[in-house]
Amino acid sequence: MKIIVTGGAGFIGSVMVQYLVNKYPEDMIINLDKLTYAGNLENLKPVEDKPNYRFVKGDIADRKFIFELFETEKPDVIINFAAESHVDRSVEHPEEFVRTNVMGTTTLLDACKAYGIKRYHQVSTDEVYGDLPLDRPDLFFTETTPLHASSPYSASKASADMFVMAYHRTFGIPVTISRCSNNYGQYQFPEKLIPLMISRALADEQLPVYGDGANVRDWLHVEDHCQAIDLIVRNGREGEIYNIGGHNERTNLQVVKTILAALDKPESLIKYVKDRPGHDRRYAIDPEKLTKELGWKPQYNFDTGIRQTIEWYLDNKSWWERIISGEYQNYFKEMYKDRVTD
Ligand code: NAD
Ligand code: TYD
């Protein structure tokens, strides 16, 4: 099989590419990525010389490029990770989210329609469901929960999902969608909560916790996410949506305190700052469809996964130090200018 993984130089995509290249030596894995600020070819070092791996630089919203790529490569499977993925950035600059997340997805779907495909898989997010109230721990997102996006990011992902389902119904494209909870693990860009807090705590800098820190996220290790996607792509039913999550709900404050304790740093580093506008209160996934239908089971729980992740960031300081010493400094200054003082 020839599989194009889009966004394969980003956090989750690069773990997926490594997983597929190692697990399926008979398959050809093409990593298609625009290399935005979030794309980093260093993430692919462990597989870059493998004969069943290739990198192609390109933009999923560039129609001419995508059609030419389909014409020459004739892929069997597309797994679409490519996206603008950070909620805070979407609040500042929504237009790039529409271009990549919506137009990029429809461009890929049009190419699938023109050239044929065995499976198009859309990597989506639980954020399309909006949020759950904090005082109803009995409620979870299921695949039939109505879409109720809160941020420009989640609105763009929900919109893309609707196009994917529309192309299935109208043109018969064989699609699947997965909606996963928050990921953490190796190679996550340090704009996101966990790597941001690890890198700043190690430098004894303030840790900006939005609002009261009581917002809840359902954390899943990136390797468990990738394993689930592989199962869905190979065994999932066409036209179906699968939620992915492992029942690891934590408040942001719990996450930050866990990181501080593991690094032996004081809680006085925590700084409560101005809340994110539209901030979703709680995400929580019911993964029953995936576990019952496809037999998926996560390998990590939050306690084992966060330990492995912190160790990875300690062992790979040069990876993230290079990132935070570049353009990232301007990003942090701009994004946090009204929030932190250092
Ligand atoms: P990321 O920001 O780390 O990586 C995104 C990658 O896409 C980068 O390599 C970037 O260069 C590439 N890209 C961006 N625009 C592109 C374009 N126009 N054409 C080609 N490549 C482009 O993101 P991530 O956290 O790895 O998320 C990957 C996917 O998983 C996204 O679709 C996201 O919505 C989804 N998701 C993420 C999470 C999470 O917790 N991170 C959870 C559920 C779902
Ligand atoms: P994030 O990693 O941006 O993921 P998402 O918004 O997609 O869930 O944020 C996770 C949670 O952490 C979210 O509730 C916002 C909060 N947060 C902070 O409190 N401070 C920060 O500096 C960041 C980046 C996030």
Q: pLDDT, tens digit, for every residue of 26-41?
A: 999 999 999 999 999 9
Catalytic residue numbers, as ranges: 126-127, 153
Identify the pLDDT of residue 315: 98
Per-residue pLDDT band at 340 (split at 50, 70, 90): confident
d(CA 59, CA 36): 10
Helices (H), ranges, 50-151 = 63-73, 87-92, 94-97, 105-115
SS (H, E, C) 215-235: CEEEEEEHHHHHHHHHHHHHH
Measured from the alpha carbon of residue 11, the closest ligand is 1
The residue-averaged pLDDT of 14-22 equals 98
Question: Which residue is closest in CA terms to ligand 1's atom 41?
Answer: 183
Per-residue pLDDT band at 341 (split at 50, 70, 90): low
Q: pLDDT, tens digit, for every residue of 140-196?
A: 999 999 999 999 999 999 999 999 999 999 999 999 999 999 999 999 999 999 999
Average pLDDT, the chain: 97
Q: How long is the chain?
A: 342
Hey, CA dihedral for 270, 276, 280, 281, is it positive or negative?
A: positive
Do 47 and 17 contact (CB within 8 A), yes or no?
yes
User: Which H helix or E strand runs over 292?
Assistant: helix 288-294
Measured from the alpha carbon of residue 251, the closest ligand is 2
DSSP state for residue 291 in the 8-state scheme: H
Cα-Cα-Cα-Cα torsion 239, 245, 251, 255, nearest 10 degrees, comes to: -130
Do 16 and 185 contact (CB within 8 A), yes or no?
no
Q: Kindly list the distances between the CA atom of residue 323 and the CA atoms of 147, 195, 336, 339, in Å, as whole numbers in the listed order.
A: 34, 12, 17, 21
Cα-Cα-Cα-Cα torsion 323, 327, 330, 336, nearest 10 degrees, comes to: -30
Hey, CA dihedral for 250, 253, 254, 260, is it positive or negative?
A: positive
What amino acid is encoded at 253 in this protein? Answer: L
d(CA 43, CA 319): 9
d(CA 75, CA 62): 17
Q: pLDDT, tens digit, for every residue of 115-124?
A: 999 999 999 9
Do 29 and 6 contact (CB within 8 A), yes or no?
no
**Which among 84, 205, 210, 279 is the best mutation to test ligand 2's pocket, defined by most ligand atoms within 8 Å of the CB?**
210
Identify the pLDDT of residue 339: 82
Between 326 and 196, the more confident residue is 196
**Which among 81, 93, 331 is the best mutation to test ligand 1's pocket, defined by most ligand atoms within 8 Å of the CB?**
81
Q: pLDDT, tens digit, for every residue of 263-282?
A: 999 999 999 999 999 999 99
Ligand 1 atom with the smallest distance to the CA of 36 is 11
DSSP state for residue 312 in the 8-state scheme: H
Q: pLDDT, tens digit, for every residue of 73-87?
A: 999 999 999 999 999
